[in-house]
Amino acid sequence: MTSSLQAALDPGSIAVIGASENPDKIGGRPLLYLSQFGFRGEVWPVNPRRDEVQGRRTVPRLSGLSRAPDLAIIAVPGEAAVAALDECAEIGVKVAIMMASGFGETADPAAKAAERAMVARARARGLRMIGPNSQGLANFGTGAVASFSSMFLEAPPQDGPVGIVSQSGAMSVVPYGLLRARGIGVRHTHATGNDADVTVCELAAAVAADPALKLLLLYLESIPDPHHLAEAAAIARDRGLPIVALKSGRTAAGQAAAQSHTGALANEDRLVDAFLERHGIWRARDTTDLVAAAELYLKGWRPEGRRMVAISNSGATCVMAADAASQAGLDLAPLEEGTQGRLRAILPSFAATRNPVDITAALMTNSALFSQILPVIAEDPSADAFLVGVPVAGRAYAVDDFGRDTAAFAQATGKPVVIVAPQAIVAAPFRSRGLPVFSGEGEAVRALYQFIAHHERIREAAGRPPHPAPPPPAKAPPRLLDEAESLDRLARAGLPVVRHRLCRTAEEAVAAADAIGGPVAVKGCSAEVAHKSELGLVHLGVRGAEAVRTAFAACRAALEEAGHAASGVIVAAMARGRREWVLGAHRDPFFGPVVVVGEGGKYVEAMPDVALLLPPFAEADVARALGRLRLAPLIDGVRGEAPLAIQPYLAAAVAVGRLMTSEPGIASLDVNPMLVGSEPGECLALDAVVFVEGSVP
Amino acid sequence: MTSSLQAALDPGSIAVIGASENPDKIGGRPLLYLSQFGFRGEVWPVNPRRDEVQGRRTVPRLSGLSRAPDLAIIAVPGEAAVAALDECAEIGVKVAIMMASGFGETADPAAKAAERAMVARARARGLRMIGPNSQGLANFGTGAVASFSSMFLEAPPQDGPVGIVSQSGAMSVVPYGLLRARGIGVRHTHATGNDADVTVCELAAAVAADPALKLLLLYLESIPDPHHLAEAAAIARDRGLPIVALKSGRTAAGQAAAQSHTGALANEDRLVDAFLERHGIWRARDTTDLVAAAELYLKGWRPEGRRMVAISNSGATCVMAADAASQAGLDLAPLEEGTQGRLRAILPSFAATRNPVDITAALMTNSALFSQILPVIAEDPSADAFLVGVPVAGRAYAVDDFGRDTAAFAQATGKPVVIVAPQAIVAAPFRSRGLPVFSGEGEAVRALYQFIAHHERIREAAGRPPHPAPPPPAKAPPRLLDEAESLDRLARAGLPVVRHRLCRTAEEAVAAADAIGGPVAVKGCSAEVAHKSELGLVHLGVRGAEAVRTAFAACRAALEEAGHAASGVIVAAMARGRREWVLGAHRDPFFGPVVVVGEGGKYVEAMPDVALLLPPFAEADVARALGRLRLAPLIDGVRGEAPLAIQPYLAAAVAVGRLMTSEPGIASLDVNPMLVGSEPGECLALDAVVFVEGSVP
């Protein structure tokens, strides 16, 4: 597979089917680019009506070629495109880029079927297809620019350390344009369109193998094949190549729009978050965000911590940088007392030396202050990263020295530095020395946070075992186990389960209550009832033989009245922890098994405070996920409460993850409430609903 | 007061104390600017050592002037500055701008005291002071540029419809620079520094009166005088002038930095939000945000609703615009069926016509598609606002026509339009026609949302009664009322309170329990105990005379053991609603009375889900605030629950607001829990803690 895609990225020969003399036509643009950007392989225009296009000899049909091209660009529309694809398969082309629209992205079932059929025919003969509805691929390392984008006319390319792989044509080149405007070189700019055969994720895996890359950007409207993305992430992690992905279709409105754009299938957005995090991929919110931190990635910095020091000639920059750091999740640790003393000896008495360091407007009359303080700060071990803000300067300031000295400072410390300089004249001397410059404190701090937190995420992702593939579509609807079976299944998986007994008779129930001791819960048990309370099947705090008998009878009667087959009546210990949690799992059609942890109770859907985890995962992963939830403060105890004994819950979550990966027959499970208290023994599953695949007993 | 500040904004004469020949010195820069930017009043440089500076005759001392200048710039440092201020007061200067640093913004108590003393002396003689630590004021309408900022050398000014008032010097000119780079004219650019006398809010009120303004931007590090800001907001609302404010010091780290920058006092950040919202002021998150929507405000558009239609040649722009709209809070309603039919007749079959409208890459071969669809969409009544995205275009596209036709479209509809065009060549024809252009979908949608939501907020703020001033600092610590007194005080204020009786003897308690009926709560009552549970003073579900006697005795014993004076024992009805809410109030030293509404229970501080309201307010304001909380879905009922009967709670919140404004003796109150159920009668205050001012009985 990868070798075919290698042929798409670095083809020895390219045929253009529907080659046009007009470089502003879809069939003419790639020919222009192949000439203009120095492609050194062979180029064969195919056109039955002309002998020559754009100075190159044509062939009338693909079959007229003496040998098959590595790559064919299909720039004809509709049925002619389908015929051309078949012809490519016939003669042994390795990869075809199908630029025609009007297939899977439309609402027309016939067009969708045509897309599926042509993919099947191509695959049967070993031909890989990119598209349809693809703007094409562009590799500025080889000059293989098989794309009709207008962008390369407007923003001249330059080979460089960034790769972009996108479903959308526009989003393959908009980040390119933004990066080029900042002087950053881009090697790969690929648009895969409808992803009917080769997907953006599969192509990303091929691109990630390029050793020249330092940053890989992705734009996706759907992730139907997470395993390809996981593979790309693994290749990238091995090479130290960070991936930043913009996955759109976050909202229902966006998913509806994506459906008519590239025929994208809808992913559950919280799972996209969980999946990307698991694999060390940073998720960008929008286009600006996608490229915001690019310069930081290209510097070779390896961030080690979250402590930022801010330095500015403006107190307001200091305040706003401190606000932004706190809000993003960076710390502003004070500089060491010795450092502060040395700074006080340099700066005016009204300057601030703690952190942020405020040089004040005194910089206007003495530009040397800037150069004098940087070496002092460089020697302080308190910082992991720096923000240097010069929001206003000009004629009276030695701005070129500021750029020079900051570059030397960055070199000396080896730590990340971001610059805030909204004025072009101030930005220039920093930018010309390769430092990342931002026009506002917010942007600078958020980029720095992303860079640091992304590296943390990559380190966490290293060595994680692979996530299992999603299940094949179920043949029959899943089947509910009754509560006793559900609890037993979970107990066997290692979960702490409330002490209980399934009773067939009232006397068994009385005996069970006696054995358990104290007041008990008496609950009607049926594999036909998932929600017991509504049917009056739950009796709590039942105490004494007579009360147990009454509750038993009430449960039987209620089940009978509702017409549900009874498995019996459960008698269980009454238990209470300090809070009700949930522990659930299901299988996502794209992402496979998913475990849900967080707050339980009745309002899990209405007011969710849960995290999603993709197994297998470790207790530390669960703890990290819980730490970001609203209820996180409760774990350590608030208002004089003892801390929660959370470890058994973490272990239970890991056990559920293991169960879901090892027993494909379990469709879903929902433990709600799962109690967590101050003592480890208080962690108990009180109720459970397990669904199994219909075919599994 | 305002007339003095008018003299600062539009002075007839200006003295520069410490006038310098060197225009790169603080005392030289204003002289340069007054010449360069056409100030037509009189300018008197004061310098005892030179006869002439920058071509102007000097006077050796201020007292050597034949008459007092309207405005004096004090550009000398330290004690000389203090002496100059006294001299200004002596001769009758109206306003002095004190540029010297080293006063209230330092940690030095003597410097802080010197600042207070000089303000007192100036005020006593009718002199208003701006600063110290002020960069100065700049009015490009009159040429009165009394500022030493370097920015005006770098970004040439142009009089225009924007005003900027800032504590920080940098933040008075950074937004100026960003706006000027976008071609927007700015009239006012003022920096008030330490705000020791004239504050940014007071100056903002004076600037808001300028009839030429269409947008007022504020940067604040502290709001010690909300009444001035309320006055500015009222003046602005009367004139239809929107205010956007960046209040920094949001976080503890930011507040610490602000303290050493301008000596700013810390405001509670959630109250800043509540105050700004109450007065129709939009709060910007950072510098970029402060100016992000400027172009929209200047167009004269009056947005009427939240329904956005997106139009692009890129499906990805459509998807990302839809995502951004949903996430920001804008709706993407489908176009009418008739409109869609007309669009289908124009666009290719694979285009999307619902909303977003995706012209597709077909625009590359037929630029006329753009011009043809706009008039069709203009006639559809489904839209309140539009996003037009052209993320990629170039040589093959009629981009100038796109700009022309979109401008005509905006003219025809009179509705807000934002453009997404990351390429400079595409942005130009839109920008040259005055349309707001953004480089990403996210930025464009968020600016549009801000513009629409800000106008909603301004409309809501119209006609709100004034918020009362904060109380004078209390002379004694507030005094706790016991629970019975607290509940009585609230009942008199109109709150629904649980049925209860304060009992002195066990027999009174038995009689009370009998009268109330059913199980009761028995609670020890003392004005020395705010948290009863911890002392074992709460007995719930007490049933029968014997149990009541036992509980009564236990409460008395527990109070005695803890050494607290007992008021008696409360016997109250047991009541339960569906959820525990909180209803609280306190007095903020800056913002006065504040009412807290939202989720109650034990974790109000640890996991807050509350909103703050500044009284007086209406039930609709409470409902709107609750609608943004996490628990909002519960109000309408979820999972088959009946909706909550929320009206009595809204009324209770309004009553608490009234109580706090009408009874200054109440320091704070906390009703937790306040029950809310499905029936109006279930809304009850179960427990209350009221603190009164020490001097009030």
Q: Residue A520: which domain range?
A: 499-573
Residues of chain A in contact with residue B320, where contact means CB-CB under 8 angstroms, are 248, 254, 286-287
How far does A389 lie from chain B, in Å, by closest CA?
11
A161 lies in some domain: no
Choose, out of B363, B392, B626, the residue to mutate when testing the contact with A (most A CBs < 10 Å). B392
A/B interface, count of CB pairs below 8 Å = 309
Whether residue A562 sits in one domain with residue A600: no
How much is the mean pLDDT over chain B?
A: 94
Length of chain B measured in residues: 697
How many CA atoms are closer than 13 Å to the CA of B642, on its beta-carbon side? 10
How far does B302 lie from chain A, in Å, by closest CA?
26
Please answer whether residues A227 and A208 qualify as being in contact, where contact means their C-beta atoms are separated by less than 8 angstroms: no
Of chain A residues 30-89, which have a CB less than 8 A from chain B? Answer: none
Rounded distance between C-alpha atoms, residue A129 and residue A645, angstroms: 54
B628 lies in some domain: yes
Q: Two tokens at B264?
A: 């700013």
Whether residue B144 sits in one domain with residue B16: yes
pLDDT tens-digit series, residues A44-80: 999 999 999 999 999 999 998 999 999 999 999 999 9
Whether residue A39 sits in one domain with residue A127: yes
pLDDT band at B326 (very low <50, low <70, confident <90, very high): very high
pLDDT tens-digit series, residues A101-151: 999 888 889 999 999 999 999 999 999 999 999 999 999 999 999 999 999
Is residue A610 predicted with pLDDT exceeding 60?
Answer: yes
Please answer whether residues B543 and B510 qualify as being in contact, where contact means their C-beta atoms are separated by less than 8 angstroms: no
Check CB contact of A253 with chain B, cutoff 8 Å: yes
pLDDT band at A463 (very low <50, low <70, confident <90, very high): confident
Please answer whether residues B226 and B591 qualify as being in contact, where contact means their C-beta atoms are separated by less than 8 angstroms: yes
How many CA atoms are closer than 13 Å to the CA of B257, on its beta-carbon side? 35
A638 vs B324: CB contact, 8 Å cut-off?
A: no
pLDDT at A259: 83
pLDDT tens-digit series, residues B654-691: 999 999 999 989 999 999 999 999 999 999 999 999 99
pLDDT band at B148 (very low <50, low <70, confident <90, very high): very high
How many CA atoms are closer than 13 Å to the CA of B151, on its beta-carbon side? 33
Q: Does the predicted model carry a pTM greater than 0.90?
A: yes
A494 lies in some domain: no
Q: Which residue of B has its CA nearest to A247?
A: B320
How far does A178 lie from chain B, in Å, by closest CA?
7
Sign of CA dihedral A586, A589, A593, A595: negative
Burial class (CB in 10 A: 0-12, 13-18, 19+), B329: exposed
The arithmetic mean of pLDDT across residues B295-313, rounded, is 96
B286 vs A314: CB contact, 8 Å cut-off?
A: no
Residue B240 DSSP SS3? coil
A394 vs B154: CB contact, 8 Å cut-off?
A: yes
Q: Which residue of A has its CA nearest to B25?
A: A365
Angle, vertex CA A461, rays to CA A275 and CA A271, nearest 5: 10
B319 vs A106: CB contact, 8 Å cut-off?
A: no
Whether residue B513 sits in one domain with residue B593: no
Q: Which of A148, A183, A200 is the last residue of a domain?
A: A148
Of chain B residues 84-123, which have a CB less than 8 A from chain A? Answer: 101-102, 105-106, 108
Reading phi first (left if > 0) and then psi (alpha if -120 to 50, else beta), residue B426 is in alpha
Residues of chain B in contact with residue A26, where contact means CB-CB under 8 angstroms, are 361, 364-365
B154 lies in some domain: no
Whether residue B287 sits in one domain with residue B315: no
pLDDT band at A697 (very low <50, low <70, confident <90, very high): very low
3-state helix, strand, coil in chain A (%, to 5): 40, 20, 40
Q: Return the CATH number at A638.
A: 3.30.470.20
Check CB contact of B693 with chain A, cutoff 8 Å: no
Burial class (CB in 10 A: 0-12, 13-18, 19+), A370: buried
Is residue B262 predicted with pLDDT exceeding 80?
Answer: no
Beta bridge partners, A580, equal A675
Q: Return the CATH number at B100.
A: 3.40.50.720
How much is the mean pLDDT over chain A?
A: 94
Check CB contact of B149 with chain A, cutoff 8 Å: yes
Please answer whether residues B559 and B537 qualify as being in contact, where contact means their C-beta atoms are separated by less than 8 angstroms: yes
How far does A248 lie from chain B, in Å, by closest CA?
6
How far does B439 lie from chain A, in Å, by closest CA?
8
For residue B50, give the H/E element and its range. Answer: none
Residues of chain B in contact with residue A218, where contact means CB-CB under 8 angstroms, are none
A557 lies in some domain: yes
pLDDT tens-digit series, residues B182-235: 999 999 999 999 999 999 999 999 999 999 999 999 999 999 999 999 999 999
Q: Return the CATH number at B534.
A: 3.30.1490.20
Out of A144-148, A474-478, A582-586, B407-411, which region has the weakest mean confidence (pLDDT)?
A: A474-478
A260 vs B352: CB contact, 8 Å cut-off?
A: yes
Of chain B residues 566-585, which have a CB less than 8 A from chain A? Answer: none
Check CB contact of A604 with chain B, cutoff 8 Å: no
Q: Cα(first)–Cα(last) distance of chain A, in Å?
A: 39
Please answer whether residues B39 and B146 qualify as being in contact, where contact means their C-beta atoms are separated by less than 8 angstroms: no
B332 vs A393: CB contact, 8 Å cut-off?
A: no
Q: Two tokens at B12?
A: 């007839």
Out of A440-444, A656-660, B12-16, B636-640, which region has the weakest mean confidence (pLDDT)?
A: B636-640
pLDDT at A653: 98
Residues of chain A in contact with residue B219, where contact means CB-CB under 8 angstroms, are 316
A422 vs B287: CB contact, 8 Å cut-off?
A: yes
Check CB contact of B538 with chain A, cutoff 8 Å: no
pLDDT at A638: 86
Q: Provide ipTM, 2 decimals.
A: 0.94
Please answer whether residues B164 and B187 qualify as being in contact, where contact means their C-beta atoms are separated by less than 8 angstroms: no
Whether residue B214 sits in one domain with residue B169: yes
Burial class (CB in 10 A: 0-12, 13-18, 19+), A563: exposed
Residues of chain B in contact with residue A640, where contact means CB-CB under 8 angstroms, are 534
State the helix-helix crossing angle for A109-124 and A78-91, rounded to 10 degrees: 10
Residues of chain B in contact with residue A318, where contact means CB-CB under 8 angstroms, are 257, 261
Q: Which of A361, A386, A419 is the last residue of a domain?
A: A419
Residues of chain B in contact with residue A262, where contact means CB-CB under 8 angstroms, are 315
Check CB contact of B172 with chain A, cutoff 8 Å: no
Residues of chain A in contact with residue B77, where contact means CB-CB under 8 angstroms, are none
Whether residue A597 sits in one domain with residue A583: yes
How far does A253 lie from chain B, in Å, by closest CA?
5
pLDDT band at B2 (very low <50, low <70, confident <90, very high): low
Tell me the percentage of chain A whose pLDDT exceeds 90.
86
pLDDT band at B264 (very low <50, low <70, confident <90, very high): confident
Check CB contact of A422 with chain B, cutoff 8 Å: yes
Q: Where are the alpha helices (DSSP H) in A133-242?
A: 151-154, 170-181, 200-208, 226-239
Choose, out of A167, A262, A286, the residue to mutate when testing the contact with B (most B CBs < 10 Å). A286
B50 lies in some domain: yes
pLDDT at A1: 44
Sign of CA dihedral A190, A194, A197, A200: positive
Burial track B111-144 (b if 16+ CB lie within 10 A, e otherwise): bbebbeebbebbeeeebbbbbbbbbbbbbbbbbb
CA distances from A390 to A447, B26, B261 (A): 17, 18, 15
Whether residue B671 sits in one domain with residue B616: yes
3-state helix, strand, coil in chain B (%, to 5): 40, 20, 40
Check CB contact of A533 with chain B, cutoff 8 Å: no
Of chain B residues 465-524, which have a CB less than 8 A from chain A? Answer: none
Choose, out of A350, A358, A641, the residue to mutate when testing the contact with B (most B CBs < 10 Å). A350
Beta bridge partners, B579, equal B676
Whether residue A563 sits in one domain with residue A593: no
Please answer whether residues B239 and B187 qualify as being in contact, where contact means their C-beta atoms are separated by less than 8 angstroms: no
Of chain A residues 257-296, which have a CB less than 8 A from chain B? Answer: 257-258, 260-262, 285-289
B396 vs A24: CB contact, 8 Å cut-off?
A: yes
Is residue B99 predicted with pLDDT exceeding 80?
Answer: yes
Check CB contact of B170 with chain A, cutoff 8 Å: yes
Whether residue A538 sits in one domain with residue A407: no
A325 vs B288: CB contact, 8 Å cut-off?
A: no
Q: Return the CATH number at B423.
A: 3.40.50.261
Q: Two tokens at B144?
A: 């009165």
Please answer whether residues A195 and A186 qualify as being in contact, where contact means their C-beta atoms are separated by less than 8 angstroms: no
Rounded distance between C-alpha atoms, residue B525 and residue B564, angstroms: 10
User: How many structural domains does chain B have?
Assistant: 5
pLDDT at A527: 92
Of chain A residues 608-647, which have a CB less than 8 A from chain B? Answer: 630-631, 633-634, 638-640
Of the partner residues A150, A316, A425, the one whose CB lies closest to the CB of residue B396 = A150
A7 lies in some domain: yes
Whether residue A616 sits in one domain with residue A633: yes
How far does A433 lie from chain B, in Å, by closest CA?
22
Whether residue B109 sits in one domain with residue B23: yes
The arithmetic mean of pLDDT across residues B136-146, rounded, is 97
Angle, vertex CA B155, rays to CA B152 and CA B159, nearest 5: 75
B262 vs A315: CB contact, 8 Å cut-off?
A: yes
Tell me the percentage of chain B whose pLDDT exceeds 90.
86
The arithmetic mean of pLDDT across residues B473-482, rounded, is 85
A168 vs B314: CB contact, 8 Å cut-off?
A: yes
Q: Which of A521, A548, A573 is the last residue of a domain?
A: A573
A550 lies in some domain: yes
Residues of chain B in contact with residue A307, where contact means CB-CB under 8 angstroms, are none
pLDDT tens-digit series, residues B71-81: 999 999 999 99
Q: How many CB atoms lie within 10 A of CB B91?
A: 18
pLDDT band at B1 (very low <50, low <70, confident <90, very high): very low
Please answer whether residues A350 and B206 qualify as being in contact, where contact means their C-beta atoms are separated by less than 8 angstroms: no
DSSP state of A331: B
B394 vs A150: CB contact, 8 Å cut-off?
A: yes
pLDDT band at B695 (very low <50, low <70, confident <90, very high): low
A323 vs B174: CB contact, 8 Å cut-off?
A: no
Tell me the percentage of chain B whose pLDDT exceeds 70.
99
Residues of chain A in contact with residue B439, where contact means CB-CB under 8 angstroms, are 178, 287-288
Rounded distance between C-alpha atoms, residue A363 and residue A342, angstroms: 17
The arithmetic mean of pLDDT across residues B399-423, rounded, is 96
